[in-house]
Each structure stands twice: as C-alpha cells, then as structure tokens.
Structure 1
Amino acid sequence: MKEALDHEMARSALPPAPGADRYRSLDFADTAATLPAGQSYDLLAEPRTAMCWLAAHELTTPDIRLYELCARRMRTLRGHVRALFAAAVDGSTPPEESLRAVNEALTAVPSAPLLAWDEAHGMRRVQAHPTDQAVGHALATLAADAADLLAGPDAGLLAACASAPCDRFLLRTHGRRHWCSTRCGDRARAARAYARRNRAST
C-alpha cells in the first residue's frame, strides 16, 4: 500500500522547475506543491519519502534512517526557505523568523570536510558526521544553497510560477517565462485562449 502511494505521489509530482539543477534549495522549496482541482503533493510528508529525496540529491546516503522528527525539521526549514523566496519575488521584507531559521541551519553543524587518513586511501577530506547529524548537515547545505541564491547574481531571476494554483518557484531561463513546467505553461495558455473566446462571444 505504501509503495502504491509513493508511486502515485512520484507520478503526480511535477518535474524539477527551471533552475533546480543549479540550486538544490529551489528543488527543496518545491518538494510541496498545489496542483489544479484541489490536488497537491508533499515529497517530505513521511520520513521514508524525505530520506529518498535527500539521497536522490546526494545530501545523505540511502542507509541513513530518518525519523518523523527529522522529516519535520526538513518541512520546517522548507517553509522558511519558501517564505524567503516569496519575499524576494514580491520585493517585500523577509520574515525575521525565516532569516533566523536559515542562519541557525547554516551554523548548526560544521560544514568543512574533516581531515582523515586510512591505509587504503591515504590522506583525504571527508564529511564525517555521525548519523544523528546527517540531517543537520543536509539542512546546513540546503540553507547555504538558498543563501547563495538569494544573495547571488541569480536572485533577480527567481520567480513564482504564474499558472495558478501552482505555488512552485523557478529561475527564469529566457524571456518572460514564469511557468515551472510545460504542464503549467499549457494550462496558462489554455486559460488565456478560453478567456479570449469568452470575450469575443460577448
């Protein structure tokens, strides 16, 4: 039953939005979305699906076991990242609690790779965090990525999908495109064509 639900969620989830290949935090923000006809999905809804998302984005290994507390931490940070993205898109003042949450995630764990040595590999740098810090490290990485996007040269390209009710974020790649996917673009064009036909017939 759970496998069927996972399959259905993956099938209904939209493909990554433009820019998600450059900023994992953008894909992180878009792990929950509102779809037409009252549908939605949340790829972090359960510890199992949250673990799959982290592993797929090379933020942890598949053998790390997540608990509900960890998934809740991910969902909480996602909400703060989304609030900061929304403020950047709107040009409004970002919520103080969201700035604080991202900064706390940035500084919660050491981010520098440690120096290690073994006979097989010699001297090398490793991300040697204990299992209980694996999610903290992943969140620190995502927070840093979000900070790089919001304070970097691509900040002006950040946009919200313009095809209601979709609430995903994207980076504009060319022209004035403000759609996160072909599906949303097709829906927006169909809505405009329908509105034009209605105006012409009145």
Structure 2
Amino acid sequence: MLALEFVSTVRATRSGPVDTLSDVAGMTAWAREHAAGLGIGPGFTATEDLRREVVELRQAVRALFARAVAPDPASGADAHRLPGFAESLDLVNAAALAVPLAPRLEWPDAGAPVARTVPATEAAWSPRIRAALAASAIALLAGPERERLRTCPAPRCVLYFVKEHARQEWCSVGCGNRARAARHYHQHKAR
C-alpha cells in the first residue's frame, strides 16, 4: 500500500530515527523504488523543491494517520511536530486535486490486462507525485483499512500498519520479538 510505504519513510533504527527523504538522493531512490505507483520512469531524479513538498505532504498524511488511530497514541517519531488536522486535510486534498488521475487499461500481447492509474493531463513531476501519494492516502483513510490502521507499540518503533488479523499487535515479527523481550526484561528486573 503506497500510503503506508510513504509514511514509513520515517522509521527508527537502533541508532535513532531515520528519514529516508532527508535529502535529494534519498528522495530519488525512494521514488524510483515506487515508480509504478507514482507514475514515473526509471530515470527520474528529484529536486530539492520536490523533496521539500513531498516531505510537507508526508507530515500532513502522518497527521491524518494520527487522527485515524485516535484515541490510541500517534507514532512517537514526530507526533509533536505534526501540522494541525484542518491544515493537513486541506493540503492532502489540494495535492490530490492538483493532477486528476484516471485508470488506464494496459493489455500486453503475452499477458493479462492490467489497470494503472495515470495522470489525466500532462503535469510536472512534483504535482504528479504528490497527487499519487495524496490519492493513495485518501483511498486508505476513506476505505475499510482505516478501521484496522494502528501505531506499532513496540519499543522504538514509529511505524503505522494495517492490522491483517485479529491477533496482530505489531507491524512486524521483529517488533513483536522486541516487545516481548523488553517485557521479559522488565518483569525479571523487577524481581
């Protein structure tokens, strides 16, 4: 899900928080990795202006995710730095409207038909990328997945995830292991 991948560009490692989009090289690499969802080619190269605009959009989407998981706590990565709800909602909606998107059917000679979402009009990279990201966030937040959106409660984790089954508590097996190890440590330390 592109929206989750997008907000997960802020994550935590053993050495602290990491922002994949902290520089133009990181933005370029992340965009190329998600080229199909963003409607860009493999030769795409980000600019500093695009990176700043995408990071601003990411913070707005993270603010909307924080609202979606309430009353549970928001991600600890940046909850104190998120823009306000109304401002975030306006920014996401404006980004989605900047470039109308439309489905396009592609049917290769030796394969099954595939639907891709593409810009309905020609547009510069920045509005195209931000429109695709905003549309993905809107689809997640307005769809049934919103009810299953969670913040990972594992120590040091700052990710959002969509709960796939009733017993899922963490975003990954690694986070579950880390949470259980921390709980075990605290139980035995108290003795």
Q: TM-score, structure 2 length as denominator?
A: 0.77
User: Residues 70 and 193 from structure 1, CA distance in 2 versus in 1: closer, same or farther, beyond 3 angstroms?
Assistant: same
The structure number with the bigger radius of gyration is 1
1:182 is aligned to 2:173: yes
Show the counterpart of 2:80: none
Q: Which contiguous aligned blocks of 4+ residues in structure 1 show a shift greater than 6 angstroms?
A: none
The partner residue of 1:51 within 28, 34, 47 is 28
CA 1:77–1:168 in 2, change beyond 3 Å: closer, same or farther? Answer: same
Between the aligned partners of 2:67 and 2:134, the Cα distance in structure 1 is 16
Q: 1:111: which partner in 2?
A: 101
SS in 1 for 2:89: helix
Post-superposition shift, 1:182?
2.4
> Relative to structure 1, is the Cα distance of residues 56 and 67 closer, same or farther in structure 2, using a 3 angstrom cutoff?
same
Residue aligning to 2:54: 74
The residue identity in structure 1 corresponding to 2:143 is: G
CA shift at 1:198, angstroms?
2.6
How many angstroms does 1:113 deviate by? 6.4
CA contact under 8 A between 1:107 and 1:140: conserved in structure 2?
yes
Letter paired with 2:3: S
Q: Is the 8 A contact 2:150 2:161 kept in 1?
A: yes
> Structure 2: how far apart are the matches of 1:126 and 1:97?
27
Mark the runs of 5 or more structure 1 residues left unpaired by the alignment: 1-22, 115-124
CA positional deviation for 1:66: 1.5
Give the whole-Å Cα distance in 1 for the aligned partners of 2:149 and 2:131: 21
Aligned pairs for 1:1-202 (under 5 A) are: 23-36=1-14, 38-57=15-34, 58=36, 59=38, 60-91=40-71, 95-112=85-102, 127=119, 129-130=122-123, 133-199=124-190, 201=191
Tell whether the 8 Å contact from 1:51 to 1:62 is kept in structure 2 after alignment.
no
Aligned AA for 1:46? D
**CA shift at 1:126, angstroms?**
6.5
For 2:180 and 2:186, locate their aligned partners in 1 and report how far apart those are by CA, in whole Å.
10
Cα distance in 2 for residues equivalent to 1:160 and 1:98: 19
Give the residue type in structure 2 aligned to 1:28.
F
SS in structure 1 at match of 2:101: coil
TM-score (norm 1): 0.73
User: Shift in Å at residue 110 of structure 1?
Assistant: 2.7
Contact 1:77/1:101 (8 A) holds in 2: yes
Distance in 1 (CA, whole Å) between partners of 2:150 and 2:103 is 33
Q: What's the C-alpha RMSD, in Å, of the aligned pairs? A: 2.2
